[in-house]
Structure 1
Amino acid sequence: MSRYEDAMKYKKKIVYVVDRVFEKQLRSKESHEVMSLKLWIVLFVLREVMKFIESQPDLAPKDAALLYAKGLLKWEPGEEVRKPLDTLLRNCVLAFPYKQSLLYDTLRKALGTRQLGCGPATYDFILQALFGQRLLTVSTFCSVCGKPSAKKRCPACKLCYCSQECQKFDWPLHKTICQSLKSLNKPLSVEDSSVSLDDIQAQISNIDV
């Protein structure tokens, strides 16, 4: 959002519109569970960003948004995932209001099998649920913005980035945990979960979309 001045200028209106679209989708007679979850993730994150911006009256909205992003990217040595970001996404899934949804139930069970700070990341679970296993196996995702087809890699720990901009933004944090990530020396796979995302995908295939 910090890239677009209009987004910061009309941030409350943007949140309102997304909220209305989500409510309309959720209350539809033929609700689309996958689309509902996509909209909910967007809405939840927007609300959290706006909440943080409003808590920083001394900062310009753009600077507050960047500060919030940096906070999400914090990564402690020995941890396999960015805990603040993982916590945000986990809370987002658990706050999904459509509790009777099969998609929600399977994600909740999968997330319940792992501790914060340990892989696989909540982001991977969400990607699998929304787009299927194939996307995870054929694409690499930017560790900062999540963009697929990230072709840049740290030569030491192999962390992926989509651009120099993301790599530069992450560098102050990355340099403190690069060796720790390298020493982990194991791929983080959703298959490590006792509730695998293959199981999730099998259940999701039963959802009418």
Structure 2
Amino acid sequence: MSAPKKGDLSSTEKELFQVITAGDVQEASRLLGCKDVRVNCLDEYGMTPLMHAAYKGKADMCKLLLQHGADVNCNEHEHGYTALMFAGLSGKTDITWMMLDAGAETDVVNSVGRTAAQMAAFVGQHDCVTVINNFFSRARLDYYTKPQGLEKEPKLPPKLAGPLHKVIMSTSLNPVKLVLLVKENPLLAEVEALDKCRRVMELICEKCVKQQDMNEVLAMKMHFISCVLGKCASFLKEREDKLDGLIKCLLKGRESDGFPVFQEKFVRECIRKFPYCNATLLQQLVRSIAPVEIGNDPTAISVLTQAITGQVGFMDSEFCTTCGEKGAEKRCSICKMVIYCDQTCQKMHWFTHKKVCKKLQEQREKQEAESAKLREKHSNGEDVCVAIE
């Protein structure tokens, strides 16, 4: 069959585009089995069926097309858009992940010089930006599960690749979240395993900096994870309460306002220890964090997260007080000043929050009373103006 040309479609291929728009997966599957249908055919704008499915947010259709050999990196679009760019524009994180997992290249630029992450950010799809900027393929990690050169043993035991990849792919860099991911997997929560994983993170960090297309963002993320894994290992060696003790240290707030001082100092120290002093990203982080007194905004973890995820609207979102996950909705019923993912996170945080809960409640009620007085004065003022008129 001839190579696809823009707008050169058989009647069946034209029907395929219509079926994709309608979202009829079963009919699309039938059409893809026809001899005169090319899975990478191009419409008049140079869009493939996969691009259409990604832009329209049809996850099942994308999966079907990829199974039939759709080229995730096809770049024939008239403005240089790729399937990953269309996925980012759609705002569908599952489709964005699907494109990445299928091998989508993240550094390709369109006709105006924007990458997929930049396109997603431009239209406000920051969750997709997070997925793209945090993606690290399992294949890149599996490289370390095989002996290289004269090595008799791999640097990373194969059984640890899955649990470690889950940690790497976490979109929350909150150290409590990362420790919880370690704790939930018995294979990972051992000193020897953590030491091996930490070493692999350091190697990936080094590779990201020294490769031709330097990736400081990924290098910083790998370094930060290696620091968290190292802290987990030291607690497992020294503390009887082990990782529970580390979580409590990270969550414990000071008596005046509940601010987690240990966590703030730990994150700052991790950033300070980044081994490549001339990195632009490190200098940006230091300039943003160093002048801020501990306890004030922005916190070190918020600055680090914003730098790594690329989320412009980071500070406008609701994040769990305990683990830092985005989209938390459950507020403390007493003070209503802190927010959690669920009851588990609330219980985990209660040991320290209970010391300041009443104080925060009083502050909130005082602020609400003052706001009510201002509204009342404003309302009375408007009434006077109306009477004069």
Give the TM interval when normalised to the shorter protein: 0.7 to 0.9
Distance 1:53 1:121, change over 3 A: same
CA contact (8 A) 2:236 2:242 kept: yes
- CA displacement 1:44-103 (0-9 Å, x = unmatched): 1111121222123xx3xxx40111110111101324631011111111111112211221
Distance 1:90 1:180, change over 3 A: farther
Distance 1:19 1:183, change over 3 A: farther
Task: State the partner residue of 2:137.
Answer: none
Separation in structure 1 between the aligned mates of residue 291 and residue 313 of structure 2, nearest angstrom: 22
Which of 263, 277, 284 is the matching residue for 1:85?
A: 263
CA contact (8 A) 1:75 1:83 kept: yes
Higher relative contact order (CA 8 A, sep 6+): 1
Task: State the partner residue of 2:248.
Answer: 70
Correspondence 1:166 to 2:349: no
Which structure has the larger Rg over C-alpha atoms?
2
The alpha-carbon deviation at position 32 of structure 1 amounts to: 0.6
CA contact (8 A) 2:289 2:299 kept: no
| TM-score, with length taken from structure 2 | 0.44
Partner AA of 2:209 in structure 1: L
Task: State the partner residue of 2:185.
Answer: 4
CA contact (8 A) 1:79 1:118 kept: no
CA contact (8 A) 1:77 1:181 kept: no
CA contact (8 A) 2:194 2:230 kept: no
Distance 1:70 1:76, change over 3 A: same
CA contact (8 A) 1:142 1:148 kept: yes
Separation in structure 1 between the aligned mates of residue 195 and residue 274 of structure 2, nearest angstrom: 21
Partner AA of 1:149 in structure 2: G
Correspondence 1:22 to 2:201: no
Task: State the partner residue of 1:190.
Answer: none
Distance 1:169 1:95, change over 3 A: same
- CA displacement 1:138-175 (0-9 Å, x = unmatched): x2111111111111111314211112111111111111
The alpha-carbon deviation at position 133 of structure 1 amounts to: 2.2
Correspondence 1:147 to 2:325: yes
Separation in structure 1 between the aligned mates of residue 286 and residue 311 of structure 2, nearest angstrom: 17
SS across alignment from 2:337: coil
The alpha-carbon deviation at position 183 of structure 1 amounts to: 5.1
Partner AA of 2:278 in structure 1: Q
Partner AA of 1:53 in structure 2: L
Aligned residues: 180
Separation in structure 2 between the aligned mates of residue 4 and residue 116 of structure 1, nearest angstrom: 33
Partner AA of 1:52 in structure 2: F
Separation in structure 2 between the aligned mates of residue 166 and residue 122 of structure 1, nearest angstrom: 21
Deviates more, 1:117-126 or 1:139-148: 117-126
* Runs of at least 5 residues in structure 1 that lack an aligned partner in the other structure: 187-209
Distance 1:31 1:184, change over 3 A: farther
Task: State the partner residue of 1:47.
Answer: 230
Correspondence 1:126 to 2:304: yes
Separation in structure 1 between the aligned mates of residue 363 and residue 279 of structure 2, nearest angstrom: 36
CA contact (8 A) 2:199 2:226 kept: no
Separation in structure 1 between the aligned mates of residue 322 and residue 261 of structure 2, nearest angstrom: 13
The alpha-carbon deviation at position 118 of structure 1 amounts to: 2.6
Report the RMSD for the aligned CA atoms in angstroms. 1.9
- CA displacement 1:83-139 (0-9 Å, x = unmatched): 0111111111111122112211111011121112233321111122222321332x2
SS across alignment from 1:176: coil
CA contact (8 A) 1:89 1:122 kept: yes
Task: State the partner residue of 1:199.
Answer: none
Task: State the partner residue of 2:84.
Answer: none
CA contact (8 A) 2:330 2:340 kept: yes
Partner AA of 2:311 in structure 1: G
SS across alignment from 1:8: coil
| TM-score, with length taken from structure 1 | 0.78
Distance 1:29 1:119, change over 3 A: same
